[in-house]
Amino acid sequence: MTYRRSLFSIALLACFATTLVPADVSAQGLRPNSSRRPRRPRAPEKTTDKFADRVVTFETSDGVTIEADWYPVKVEDGEKTPAAILIHMYPAQRASWKPMVPLLRDRLGISLLAYDIRGTGGSVKPAEKELEKGYQGPDPKHFADAWKDAEAAYAWLGQQDFVNTDRVILIGASVGCSISIDFAHREPKIQGVACLSPGTDYMSIDTLSHIKDVKNAKVLLIAPKGEYAAVESIMDAGKGKAKIKGKEYPGGRENHGTRMFDADYGMKVKKRLMQFARGVLEIEKGGKDEGDDD
């Protein structure tokens, strides 16, 4: 009798123990209190509200699925909003642009589409293309096609009935600048390109050649002092052909790209971007001196 009771007690303890360890933890071979969790891209959100902030996906002309955060401006029927496509630096992801959402969307009324460059974040499909390998390499051939991500983003904006694709700008950081200028020299309807820490040949993208063919878009090049030589080279290459302005701030590589947002002058950089966007897109909203920083 005592032996049977012992077996029964052991069985009860075993059942109780399994309730303490979730099935997914056991399946993943993780410890119950482990902080490690598989990282998965956020799934696109389904909603019937076309003005809701959400994750969206679209496909490039060469079959890459791009994932993006969409921050639309709500407008009345028949009205259209200008838009900005935001392209992050390397290595980074689209979330690095979140500090600009309150300024560009909420204050100026610009709808924003911030996407992950092919090979990182949520833009890693289809698997057979080995996009992560190309991004992490980094492989120049991979980045030579990255302008197609911006092309697909622009095409997606055109499918939104409340977006005016004649009033679109690109804002890039680091290699995102190179991709922005690469696409702008192919798409004459782009109105402006703003760059944080542009380079002359990031990932072997020939920005010095591309800038010569940017005919219609106004271009703003921002960089800390330690990286400003590249700005001067790009301005020289586009002299007499593109409408380019440069702006220098203190510091060096530590303030590369969107890291300038965290510098002592970070708000000045943000306001400079606001000023550029407002001027190019001819927006009155936001106050006459909203973007002036010096």
Q: Above 50 in pLDDT, residue 4?
A: no
Each residue's pLDDT tens digit, 191-213: 999 999 999 999 999 999 999 99
Q: In which band, very low, low, confident or very high, does the pLDDT at 18 lie, cut at 50, 70 and 90?
A: very low
Q: Model-level pTM?
A: 0.83
Per-residue CA distances from 258 to 82, 154, 279 (Å): 23, 22, 21
Each residue's pLDDT tens digit, 130-150: 999 999 999 999 999 999 999
Of 7-16, 121-130, 257-266, the one with minimum mean pLDDT is: 7-16
Cα angle vertex 160, ends 67, 196, to 5°?
55
Q: Above 90 in pLDDT, residue 7?
A: no
Per-residue CA distances from 52 to 49, 61, 135, 149, 220 (Å): 5, 27, 30, 23, 30
Quote the DSSP letter at residue 28. H
- Phi and psi at 260, nearest 5°, equal -60, -25
Whole-angstrom Cα distance, residue 142 to residue 267?
Answer: 34
CB 193 within 8 A of CB 172: yes
CB 107 within 8 A of CB 114: no
CB 198 within 8 A of CB 218: no
**Cα 93 vs. chain centroid, distance in angstroms?**
6
What class does CATH assign to 45-280?
alpha beta
Higher-pLDDT residue of 20 and 231 is 231
Tokens encoding 8: 């029964």
Q: In which band, very low, low, confident or very high, does the pLDDT at 10 lie, cut at 50, 70 and 90?
A: very low
Residue type, 75: V
Whole-angstrom Cα distance, residue 224 to residue 254?
Answer: 9
CB 197 within 8 A of CB 174: yes
β-pairing verdict for 163-173 and 81-87: parallel
